[in-house]
Structure 1
């Protein structure tokens, strides 16, 4: 029986296609079980909540996660929320949450903020991503 890996998948809703594709890669990987603890797009806290409420929701979701996945496109460097998520992952818990940075498909440019905070950077490849999750998850 395989472990279920609790994941917080950081993302920008401006680039939600990459988030959906990543979830698709993980969903279709045989012998890999995970639970997605990301704050869903349709959660009313995105549109009706305050920044403080959203940060609290993110922190609560991360608390349940073994690993944080962050897509490391250049936009991540300038994303207010991705930067806050990195701070929460590193400083919000007794034991920091490992961050795995995922390089964008076909891109050589990655976010320096993600790269500098990741325990590992991986290519946009199902096996690379799953192997890194297994290595860094304390599931």
Structure 2
């Protein structure tokens, strides 16, 4: 199936979310180019420089995935900034319930963003 450029919005203090989503992508039918920030190559610079670099990664992605957990999109967080930027650019955004918490952020419903289970079939269907 075609190549998908994917950006996974995540916080490195919740690395298990990124790892679970990435592992499911690896098993999917898609040839995935992960545009996410790697822990081995973190962004450095001022907040503005880092934010602009992340926006560039989002711009290069066709699909934005994010953990559905509330901590991923708390008010004022980089995750919220990333998702709001992706919304403003008309990007396809999918919230993924990785099962690492029992709650899901209301932000997703408030912004009419689909929340899916962290499974291969769910991810493939949502990406399309």
Superposed CA deviations along residues 3-39 of structure 1, whole A, max 9, x for unmatched, are: 001111101101112211211111123x321111112
Q: Alignment length, in residue pairs?
A: 127
Larger CA deviation: 48-57 vs 116-125: 116-125
Residue 66 of structure 2 corresponds to 70
Structure 2 portions without partners, runs of 5+: none
Residue 30 of structure 2 corresponds to 32
What CA RMSD, in Å, does the superposition of the two structures yield over aligned residues? 1.8
Residue 54 of structure 1 corresponds to 50
Residue 96 of structure 2 corresponds to 102
TM-score (norm: length of structure 1):
0.82
Residue 3 of structure 1 corresponds to 2
Larger CA deviation: 121-130 vs 105-114: 105-114
Conserved 8 A contact 1:89-1:99: yes
Distance 1:14 1:118, change over 3 A: farther
Runs (4+) of structure 1 exceeding 4 A deviation are: none
TM-score (norm: length of structure 2):
0.88
Distance 1:9 1:77 in 2: 13
Larger CA deviation: 5-14 vs 32-41: 32-41
How far apart are 1:78 and its partner, in Å? 1.9
Distance 1:67 1:24 in 2: 16
Distance 1:106 1:81, change over 3 A: closer
